[in-house]
Amino acid sequence: MAAEQHLVPFLPHCHQHLISAILAMEPSHCLISHAKECGRGSITEQVQNFLWDHCFSKHVDFYAPYLKSFLKKLITEIELDHGYVLDQLYELYAQYMTSFKDGSLGKRDARICKRISFLFPDGCSENRSCSDSRVLVFPLQCSLNMLEGDTGCSIWPSSLFLSELILSHPELFSNKSCFEIGSGVGLVGLCLAHVKASKVILSDGDLSTLANMKLNLELNNLNVETDMPQGNQDSSMVKCMHLPWESASESELQDIMPDIVLGADVIYDPLCLPHLVRLLTILLNRMEPHNGPSLNGLAKEAPVAYIACVIRNIETFNFFLSLGDQAKLDIVDLTDSLKPVKLIRYMQSYNEADVRLLRITCTRTITG
């Protein structure tokens, strides 16, 4: 049975949050917190039955070691609180222990499937992105351990922030040509396609990350193209391209001609920043003919970039600002003025307050 089917809109919020946290593979202590909230301070038999019915007894493709770790924590917490543990939970944990001894559950691929759920609040019918359903779930194949050099296949905070922003403000992205730098697992691209961007182009400089991204798009029923024709209007079509920042040619970038450029957690390595700024300068400098008429007599809006970032090193961030200033980029901090609706409240490991949102435009225009 598909895990997404367990996220039905009529579930109480605390139960939705609990299941969403499990699908997203949140740390065990976060799951315990949600379970206690459902039981008004304790993990009651009713909460245990809910977990059994919607998680442990279902044939869902969960990562077995993750469930075992959560089940151990769950039983321990209930026992410490002198509560009653359901017999089937003890029996399942015993099965897990036996299976691990045999090694049948521990040997899995380096990739795991996390399911990121966006839970829209009541009364969101005016928002086009949630008109059909109050629950939106994206399954994503991710790295098991981001610390082992597989950072491009991990879900980063700024990617979650940009995704919430797109779904909260679809009017900014609908019917716009959108291009993402360093797309990782592809979550931002999935949200752009959902709000009907006219074109979605995703890129990454790492070939293994690109392959994983394509798999995630297909996993979410999107068609992947490597050579998409201009003017494509099929919202189920997404283009993926290999784009190392240091070797991307100016003509290659000018062919993209996006309305909106996006980037999540791309300001991290001082050595890469000159290449990043060069990319942004070219992408945001739309070529305009001298005194040429615009389409239908209307001037086309200047391209804009939305970059979300967590400042881990202030010197690196200031270096980016300095390079941007030298390149005549206008960088405005929108963190306090353009906020997303909180659609992933259940994800306690994600802190929206850590993320800064930058709006970048070019103060000069190249003419040809």
The amino acid at residue 53 is D
Domain boundaries, the chain: 3-102, 149-362
The CA distance from 264 to 257, in Å, is 20
Q: What is the CA radius of gyration of the chain?
A: 23
Pair type for strands 304-310 and 260-264:
parallel
- Check: CB of residue 28 under 8 Å from CB of residue 5: no
Helix (H, G, I), strand (E, B) or coil at 147: helix
Strands (DSSP E) found in the chain: 111-119, 135-143, 177-181, 199-204, 223-225, 237-242, 260-264, 304-310, 329-333, 355-362
Comparing CA positions, the residue from 184, 204, 182, 202 lying closest to residue 193 is 202
Q: What is the pLDDT of residues 318-333, one digit of tens each?
A: 999 999 999 999 999 9
The CA distance from 55 to 59, in Å, is 8
Domain 149-362 = CATH 3.40.50.150: yes
322 Cβ contact list (under 8 Å, min separation 6): none
The CA distance from 7 to 274, in Å, is 44
The amino acid at residue 49 is N
User: Which residues of the chain, if any, have pLDDT below 50?
Assistant: 1-5, 103-109, 125-131, 228-229, 231-232, 289-298, 366-368
The CA distance from 22 to 150, in Å, is 22
Sheet of strand 237-242, all strands in order from the earlier edge strand to the far edge = 223-225, 237-242, 199-204, 177-181, 260-264, 304-310, 355-362, 329-333
The gap between the terminal CA atoms of the chain, to the nearest Å, is: 57
The CA distance from 234 to 200, in Å, is 10
